Amino acid sequence: MHIRKDDTVQIIAGDDASATGRVLRVLPDVGKVVVEGINKVYRHMRPDRRNQQGGRLSKEMPVDASNVLLVCSACRKGVRIGKRAGAEGRKERFCKQCGAGLGFLGKAKAKQA
């Protein structure tokens, strides 16, 4: 998956299109990400012994990973990314528009170093 936890992403589809937020969780088995403040839903709680008042609890629901773009720190907008071999033999994410590095993936390989 091209998105990792704590990345800043831009939403490109849905009700929250063009909004940006930080990734809280990545769910690679279902291809979704949870973004802070995006795709909020409300759970209506009935009053009970623990929650005397009741009310509405809001939480973020997952968004499909294909509906988000990684925000490039140099371009300051959502961009497509590519993967290339870095100097140390590690895979690196890079911006397809300006070529800036966006972080490494995994550990260094002994063969490529």
The total of other beta-carbon atoms located within 10 Å of residue 10's CB is: 20
Q: Within this chain, do residues 19 and 43 fall inside the same structural domain, yes or no?
A: yes
Task: Give how many domains the chain has, as a whole number.
Answer: 2
Q: Within this chain, do residues 25 and 65 fall inside the same structural domain, yes or no?
A: yes
Domain that holds residue 18: 1-71
User: Which candidate, 7, 65, 64, places its Cα nearest to that of 36?
Assistant: 7
Q: What's the pTM?
A: 0.80
Q: Within this chain, do residues 93 and 57 fall inside the same structural domain, yes or no?
A: no
Q: How far apart are CA 7 and CA 98, in angstroms?
A: 18
Instruction: Give 30 or 51, the one with higher predicted confidence.
Output: 30
Q: Within this chain, do residues 3 and 48 fall inside the same structural domain, yes or no?
A: yes
Predicted confidence (pLDDT) at residue 113 exceeds the cutoff of 50: no
Q: What is the pLDDT of residues 29-50, one digit of tens each?
A: 999 999 999 999 999 999 999 8
Q: Within this chain, do residues 5 and 60 fall inside the same structural domain, yes or no?
A: yes
